[in-house]
Structure 1
Amino acid sequence: MEKLFEIFPGGQAGVFRLIGVGMTVLITLAVLKISDQALQRLERKRAGLPHKFLHSCLKGVILVIGLFAVLSQFELTRDFSTTILQSGSLIIAVATFAAQKTLGNVISGFSISASKPCDIGQKIRVVSGGTTLAEGLVRDMTMRHVVIEQYDGQACILPNSVIDSSVIVNTNYIENVGNFMEFEIAFGSDVEKAKAIILEECRREPLLIEVDRISVLVNRLTANGIVLKFTAKTKDLNDSFRACSNLRQHVVEAFDKNGIEIPYQTVTVLKDRA
């Protein structure tokens, strides 16, 4: 051991300093590993933007503390780091000047996590100034940005400050989703029979909710026929797509079986005999 002290620069103090740095790094990595595992279990039980944001912030705090602890092992940086740590106003001034956008994203991240305008797995559209910036599924959130998986498979990464200042169109924000549906029947068709057929198909569709409250009404008259309209409600947007697709198919088939005509434009071509 004494020979090691003689060989190593700085002697005994240098060896102990090196051991201290190694222990600090190991402890930091261990704390990161434990926090990752704990937060991953939490996210598996209840995935959400607040948990994703908390995970990202906690990793950042642990790394900063670990870095400060490593710097404190050296005399050259110990006094400087201690002065910086004790000078809260100096930290704020330097951080505000050098990392305005980064701090803005972190603060916006806290705002989004608290207000929760969207959550993991929800379908949203981000609109700013009348322009759609991104549309798709929310997949992740960090201290800096939100990841949105678009319908074409590409990932759109938007800074938290952009999300916080934009209009979020979230079809999953309200528990139940309603979708207007219209069926046009020809003049001369039995309107009451057509209404009854639509209501019967609605009762058969398992994805619809509040079926007893559905009212099929005459919405308007067109050049081709009579438009019947009603609201189909489901628990979420995914169910709405499937339920409306099923209703369109089944109602058209039922109309055909019961002699209810759906009007469509036809073109008559007359052959010139001259």
Structure 2
Amino acid sequence: MEEVIGGPFSAVLMNAGKALLVLIVGWILAGRLGAIVRKRVNSNEHIDPTLGNFFASLVKWAVLAIVLVAVLGIFGIQATSIVAILGAASLAIGLALQGTLSDLAAGVMLVVFRPYKLGQFVDIGGTSGTVKDLNLFTTELVTPDNVQIIVPNGQAWGSIITNYSAHDTRRVDLVFGIDYDDSADTAMEIILDIAKADSRVHDDPEPWVRVTNLGDSSVDLTARLWCDAADYWDVKFELTKSIKEAFDAKGVSIPYPHTVEIKKSA
């Protein structure tokens, strides 16, 4: 009796051990192959690094699928049987995995059309960050304060994508309000002199300053400057500070919001 019970039980244990070994080896192999594909693709200067991450993810999941079939084969479930089962349950599987399949399809579309690439700063449906990874199912963003955000590819593809890094240059808009008693021409000259003195500001298109609004408390001046996309924030912050200091030195005031009351005699 012990031999009869022990025989099948030992076979099950042996198959389980083999399956576990195949899973471990397959998982390690999938990771290694994915890393090799990523390294080979990214080492080619003519191929975008975004494709390296995507192809690495594709290879990894393909190897894991083969490993799963091999594990099922250890327990006597043949590949033809798996196909038959999946075919019979295709409707249920499709409904259960429609979100995942949608992310997979969207991932392919993102790689084909490439609305964003690794290292670019984007806004996806109101979520902003630098693209760190794009794989089969998700896009990984990192915010300026180093917070990780995972966006399913289906949501990314179906949302409005604003890519701030798509072009080499960007326009910097600066708005300053000056007092009604100050000279707009003097203030505009100060802004232009500082802008033209900054080597990061492009000469073409030429810096532009105009009176754009007569507000309740101030005359609003708008400056439009062009610079390299990588210099955008430095130019915006540093010129704002420099122009404010120049206004102070030249006696151009930036007024607080206020209301003037005028009384007329009867």
The TM-score, its normalising length taken from structure 2, stands at 0.74
Corresponding residue for 2:234?
242
Structure 2 partner of 1:38:
37
Say if 2:244 is the partner of 1:252.
yes
C-alpha displacement of 1:249: 1.5
The amino acid of 1:121's aligned partner reads G
**Structure 2 counterpart of 1:224:** 217
Contact preservation (8 Å) 1:202, 1:211:
no
Q: Aligned-pair distance for 1:142?
A: 2.6
Q: After TM superposition, list the pairs within 5 Å mapping 1:93-242 onto structure 2.
A: 93=91, 95-127=93-125, 132=126, 134-210=127-203, 213-236=206-229, 238-242=230-234
2:264 maps to none
Q: Are residues 1:67 and 2:68 paired?
A: yes
User: In 2 relative to 1, CA 196–24 (structure 1 residues): closer, same or farther, beyond 3 Å?
Assistant: closer
Whether 1:262 and 2:262 are equivalent positions in the alignment is no
The offset of 1:94, in angstroms, is: 5.9
Separation in 1, partners of 2:258, 2:77: 85
Answer whether contact 2:123 2:161 (CA < 8 A) is retained: yes
Q: CA deviation at 1:123?
A: 2.4
Once residues 208 and 156 of structure 1 are traced to their aligned partners in structure 2, the CA distance between those partners, rounded to angstroms, is 33
Residue 51 to residue 93, structure 1, CA distance change in 2 (3 Å) = farther
- Give, in whole Å, the separation in 2 of the partners of 1:185 and 1:98: 61
Cα drift, residue 59 of structure 1: 0.3
SS in 1 for 2:77: helix
Identify unmatched segments of 5+ residues in structure 2.
1-6, 9-13, 260-266
1:243 deviates by 0.2
What value does the CA root-mean-square deviation take over the aligned residues? 3.9
Cα offset for 1:60? 0.3
Shift of 1:61: 0.5
- Aligned pairs, how many? 251
CA contact (8 A) 1:214 1:232 kept: yes
Distance 1:57 1:38 in 2: 10
2:77 match: 77
CA offset at residue 109 of structure 1? 0.9
Query: How has the CA–CA distance of structure 1 residues 181 and 202 changed in structure 2, closer, same or farther, with 3 Å as cutoff?
Result: same
Whole-Å Cα distance in 1 between the matches of residues 145 and 34 of structure 2? 34
Identical residues among aligned pairs (%): 21
Q: CA contact under 8 A between 2:37 and 2:56: conserved in structure 1? A: no
Distance 2:200 2:153 in 1: 35
Q: 1:181–1:231: 8 Å Cα contact kept in structure 2?
A: yes
Deviations 1:203-235 (A, max 9, x none): 222332345522211112234342221212222
Structure 1 Cα separation of the partners of residues 182 and 252 of structure 2: 6
One-letter code of the match for 1:242?
D
CA contact (8 A) 1:201 1:251 kept: yes
Task: Please say which of residues 257-266 and 99-108 is displaced more in the overlay.
Answer: 257-266
| Matched letter for residue 118 of structure 1 | Y
Q: Deviations over 1:114-135 (max 9, x none)?
A: 22222222222332xxxx4x33
Instruction: For 1:104 and 1:251, locate their aligned partners in 2 and report how far apart those are by CA, in whole Å.
Output: 51
**Equivalent position amino acid for 1:168 in 2:** I
Label 1:67 to 1:88 Cα distance change in 2 as closer, same or farther (>3 A): closer
